[in-house]
Amino acid sequence: MAATPADVKELPEAYVFVLDMPWLSADQVRVDVEEDGRTLVVSGERKREKERDQGIRYVWMERRLGKYLKRFPMPENANVEKVAARYKDGVLTVTVVKKPPEEPKKPKTVEVQVA
């Protein structure tokens, strides 16, 4: 199982999920929103880089590779229609925009009919 430590940040207009994922390419990472519309899922597989050279001997293997899956429950006001993902320098950043706050419900006055 590959290690994918994450930070979660809340900004005034968005939620931001930051994951350490060194040495990935676009086909090794997948970002989904589950059917419930409330869960962000980051998954994929981190494979050992292809070795061009022959005759390689591993003296030490400490980097954790393999499959990974990370699920983030999203707050009520997350707009799952507006999700953006960016990968740079080994770090994946997923931004989910917040929905604008709902209009406060105005008190409703019932008109009294005089019979």
Give how many residues touch a copy of itself by CB under 8 A. Answer: 31
> What is the CA angle 70-72-77, rounded to 5?
160
The answer to whether 90 contacts a copy of itself (rule: CB under 8 A) is: yes
Among 27, 35, 36, 53, which residue interacts with a copy of itself (rule: CB under 8 A)? 53
Give the C-alpha separation, 11 to 16, whole Å. 7
Full strand arrangement of the beta sheet holding 29-33:
29-33, 39-46, 66-73
Are 41 and 96 in contact by the 8 Å Cβ rule? The answer is no
Nearer CB in complex with a copy of itself: 79/93: 93
What's the min distance (Å) between Cβ of 31 and a copy of itself?
A: 17
The answer to whether 60 contacts a copy of itself (rule: CB under 8 A) is: yes
The answer to whether 10 contacts a copy of itself (rule: CB under 8 A) is: yes
Give the C-alpha separation, 32 to 25, whole Å. 17
Interacting residues with a copy of itself (CB under 8 A): 3, 5-12, 15, 18, 20-24, 53-64, 89-91
